[in-house]
């Protein structure tokens, strides 16, 4: 509603124009367009910290199952290493486990920088229940099919609700990759 302040001076909105006074002078501008503000289908911002906390709790729960399954291998990682220049290790010099692919009862994987004393663990774990099966073998027992590529036999078949992981460890390092099924990769 407009308000008349003089013969030609008024303030307010008339026909989409906003009239106003600044330092005794009359000004006008177009009325601000109205936006249709619909409520977002996302959850309110107030609930997000609770949801993030739930996701963190679920991740920690799953991690606890993994730590329980790999307890013996995590022990050397927890113990402090003796100090000394000759014991300094560079993480870039540790072997690199790059991929793992299952073809029925055989797992094919790539290790770059393999050296003696390395071990593999094939772990099949349910992160929901904590059930797991594992098989530990030395990398020397794996069959080398070409440079840096190995295969190992396993009796573990893919199971619904379980995640298959392949670990490589030795000294003071532990690396892991998920074991993918060959049939899923081609589709």
CATH assignment at residue 180:
2.60.40
Longest dimension (CA), the chain: 101
Could you give the number of structural domains in the chain?
Answer: 2
Average pLDDT, the chain: 76
Using DSSP's 3-state secondary structure scheme, residue 72 falls into helix
Is 37 part of a structural domain of the chain? no
Task: List pLDDT tens digits, range 64-98.
Answer: 887 788 777 666 555 555 444 434 455 557 788 88
For residue 187, the model assigns a pLDDT of 42
User: In what side-by-side order are the strands of the sheet with 132-138?
Assistant: 132-138, 119-125, 163-170, 173-178
The answer to the question of residue 60 being in a domain is no
Domain-embedded: residue 99: yes
SS (H, E, C) 76-140: HHHCCCCCCHHHCCCHHHCCEEEEEEEECCEEEEEEECCCCCCEEEEEEECCCCCCEEEEEEEHH
* Predicted local confidence at residue 87, as pLDDT: 40
- Per DSSP, what are the bridge partners of residue 175? 168
- pLDDT range class, residue 40, cuts 50, 70, 90: low
How many angstroms from the chain centroid is the CA of residue 9? Answer: 64
Q: Does residue 42 have a pLDDT over 70?
A: no
- Read off the pLDDT band of 184 (50, 70, 90): low
Burial bucket for residue 168 (CB in 10 Å: 0-12, 13-18, 19+): buried
Confidence class of residue 32 from pLDDT cuts 50, 70 and 90? confident
Q: Which is more confidently placed, 187 or 14?
A: 14
Rounded CA-CA distance 130/150 in Å is 29
Domain annotation covers residue 135 = yes
CB-side neighbour CA atoms (13 Å) of 34: 3
For the stretch 137-161, pLDDT in tens is: 898 899 988 888 999 988 888 888 8
Q: What is the pLDDT of residue 17?
A: 81
Range of the domain at 22: 1-31
């Amino acid at each position: 509603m407009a308000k008349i302040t003089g013969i030609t001076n008024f303030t307010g909105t008339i026909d989409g124009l906003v009239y106003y006074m600044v330092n005794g002078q009359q000004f006008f501008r177009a009325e601000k367009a109205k936006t249709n503000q619909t409520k977002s289908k996302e959850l309110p911002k107030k609930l997000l910290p609770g949801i993030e906390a739930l996701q963190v709790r679920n991740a920690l729960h799953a991690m606890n199952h993994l730590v329980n399954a790999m307890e013996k291998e995590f022990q050397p990682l927890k113990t402090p290493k003796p100090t000394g220049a000759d014991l300094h290790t560079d993480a870039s010099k540790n072997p690199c486990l790059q991929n793992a692919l299952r073809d029925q009862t055989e797992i094919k994987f790539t290790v770059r920088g393999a050296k003696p004393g390395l071990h593999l663990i094939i772990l099949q774990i349910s992160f929901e229940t904590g059930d797991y099966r594992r098989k530990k073998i030395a990398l020397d027992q794996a069959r080398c099919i070409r440079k840096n590529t190995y295969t190992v036999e396993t009796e573990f078949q893919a199971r619904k609700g379980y995640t298959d992981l392949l670990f490589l460890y030795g000294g003071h390092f532990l690396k892991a990759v998920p074991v993918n099924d060959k049939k899923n990769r081609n589709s």
